[in-house]
Amino acid sequence: MAFDVTKIRKDFPILKRQVNERPLVYLDNAATSQTPQQVIGAIVDYYHNYNANIHRGVHTLSQEATDKYEQARIKIQQHFNAVKAYEIILTSGTTHSINIVANGFSSLVNKGDEVLVSAMEHHSNIVPWQMLCERTGAVLKVVPMSLEGELLMNEYDKLLSGRTKLVFCNHVSNALGTVNPIKEIIEKAHKVGAVVLVDGAQAAPHIKTNLQELDVDFYTVSAHKMCGPTGVGILYGKEELLNKLPPYQGGGEMIAEVTFEKTTYADLPHKFEAGTPNICGGIAFGAALDYMNNIGFDAIATYEHELLVYATERLLEIEGLKIYGTAKDKTAVISFNIEGLHPYDIGSILDKLGIAVRTGHHCTQPIMDFFKIPGTVRASFSFYNTLEEVDVLVEGVKRARAMLL
């Protein structure tokens, strides 16, 4: 199928709206992507036609909802190429997924064990491991990065040892766009017997991840980053590791049998899915994957790279503008500042021009501390953005610079 951005944009109702009497230019996709009509339709269809609780009902609506929900799980399994559908745990998102693993490993990690995280992690992939170390006496160590925003793999090699029990790294940096060498990171960790969790929230919208090929132990994703709804995501885990972890929450659905003397837990995936889930969200996530796969991830990657190259060239025309994150392999994310200006001020003026960008530390304060800056302006692109919108962004930044300097 030929890539037709004009046709694709018609699928996204929000792209037709105006902000401050100007056409919306939405460049905050790393925070959340927009939702196509096909996914909105799946949400409406659920509430119009078969809204019911799942798994426990014998009535028709419950059975229909259960079938649709479990079909979505299978779509997710097939998209990411997990071995079994029950290795896909449906969660509220990446943060929830990471915390399930961090909580579970509290009983599997001992004092003096070492936990490695990369220097470019989102707070959601730092704080839970700090809490784990506080609970267990394990030691947190950081894999440093270069000024270009690339991990120093020789330093990673030095940090790995027989004491390393866990390694945590994002697949793609939300602040810099860097695509990390995940396969190499996993292979080296496994050689010392360490378990690896990869935060895939920023990779999943741009890269069709093959979990079996990566041989990753845990992988996390949020649906709202890839044209799906908020409040739903996945934790993938290898079956043997998920079986080792204790449940994260207690309640309905995650049990096999309950008495006042003892409770036994359900098999995967239900062991980690206590309570009524986001049924509609899970179904809509499946619809979002259908939508993106229909376009094709290779086509998406090619087009987004074109946007990245063009936007980088155009922004660097602006005097005093510096881009943070210049890795050779990166997704369509550009974090920048203009000398002498605060990112918040630039972002506020861009908003008045109808341009949505993100400003601040992007939940990556250690990265900003590394560069000795308070934050950046981040423009993050998706396959429904256009070269013309890049031009609007560049002219908007030029205007902000002229107004503020």
Q: What's the CA gap between 355 and 351, in Å, rounded? A: 5
Q: What's the CA gap between 182 and 140, in Å, rounded? A: 20
The CATH number covering residue 315 comes to 3.90.1150.10
Among the listed residues 28, 217, 235, 229, the one whose alpha carbon sits nearest the alpha carbon of residue 124:
235
One-letter amino acid at 61 equals: L
- Residue by residue, DSSP assigns 315-331 as HTTSTTEEEE---SSB-
CB-CB contact of 308 with 21 (8 Å) = no
Q: Is residue 376 situated within a structural domain?
A: yes
Q: Could you tell me if 223 and 346 lie in one domain?
A: no
Q: Which residues contact 349 (CB under 8 A, 6 or more apart)?
A: 396, 399, 400, 403, 404
Q: What's the CA gap between 298 and 301, in Å, rounded? A: 5
The last residue of one of the domains, among 234, 263, 293, is 293
Among the listed residues 162, 106, 108, 161, the one whose alpha carbon sits nearest the alpha carbon of residue 134:
106
Q: What's the CA gap between 338 and 350, in Å, rounded? A: 14
- pTM above threshold 0.85: yes
Q: Could you tell me if 360 and 270 lie in one domain?
A: no
What residues does 118 pair with on adjacent strands?
143
The label of the residue with tokens 């509290």 reads 106
Q: Which long-range contacts (CB under 8 A, 24 or more apart) does 389-393 make?
A: 389/25, 389/27, 390/307, 390/310, 390/311, 390/314, 391/314, 392/25, 392/353, 392/355, 393/25, 393/27, 393/311, 393/315, 393/350, 393/355, 393/357
The last residue of one of the domains, among 293, 316, 351, is 293
Q: Is residue 39 situated within a structural domain?
A: no
The CATH number covering residue 125 comes to 3.40.640.10
Q: Could you tell me if 304 and 256 lie in one domain?
A: no
Q: Could you tell me if 56 and 184 lie in one domain?
A: yes
pLDDT at 215: 98
Q: Could you tell me if 173 and 279 lie in one domain?
A: yes
Query: Among residues 169, 227, 280, 363, which one is catalytic?
Result: 363
Whether 363 sits among the annotated catalytic residues: the reply is: yes
pLDDT at 246: 87
Dihedral (CA of 246, 248, 249, 251) sign: negative
Q: Could you tell me if 207 and 218 lie in one domain?
A: yes
Q: Could you tell me if 249 and 301 lie in one domain?
A: no
- The 10 Å Cβ neighbour count of residue 95 is 21
CB-CB contact of 27 with 389 (8 Å) = yes
Q: Is residue 268 situated within a structural domain?
A: yes
Q: Could you tell me if 289 and 314 lie in one domain?
A: no
pLDDT at 1: 55
* Antiparallel, parallel or unpaired: β 358-360 and 321-324: unpaired
Domain enclosing residue 107, as ranges: 50-293
Q: Could you tell me if 160 and 230 lie in one domain?
A: yes
Q: Is residue 42 situated within a structural domain?
A: no
The last residue of one of the domains, among 278, 293, 308, is 293
Q: Is residue 45 situated within a structural domain?
A: no
Q: Could you tell me if 281 and 302 lie in one domain?
A: no
Q: Is residue 34 situated within a structural domain?
A: no
Q: Could you tell me if 129 and 241 lie in one domain?
A: yes
pLDDT at 380: 98
Q: Is residue 33 situated within a structural domain?
A: no
Q: Is residue 41 situated within a structural domain?
A: no
Q: Could you tell me if 289 and 302 lie in one domain?
A: no
Domain tally for the chain?
2
The label of the residue with tokens 């079994």 reads 84
**Per-residue confidence of the chain (405 residues) as pLDDT tens digits?**
578 999 999 999 999 999 999 999 999 999 999 999 999 999 999 999 999 999 978 899 999 999 999 999 999 999 999 999 999 999 999 999 999 999 999 989 999 999 999 999 999 999 999 999 999 999 999 999 999 999 999 999 999 999 999 999 999 999 999 999 999 999 999 999 999 999 999 999 999 999 999 999 999 999 999 999 999 999 999 999 999 998 887 776 776 777 787 777 778 899 998 889 999 999 999 999 999 999 999 999 999 999 999 999 999 999 999 999 999 999 999 999 999 999 999 999 999 999 999 999 999 999 999 999 999 999 999 999 999 999 999 999 999 999 999
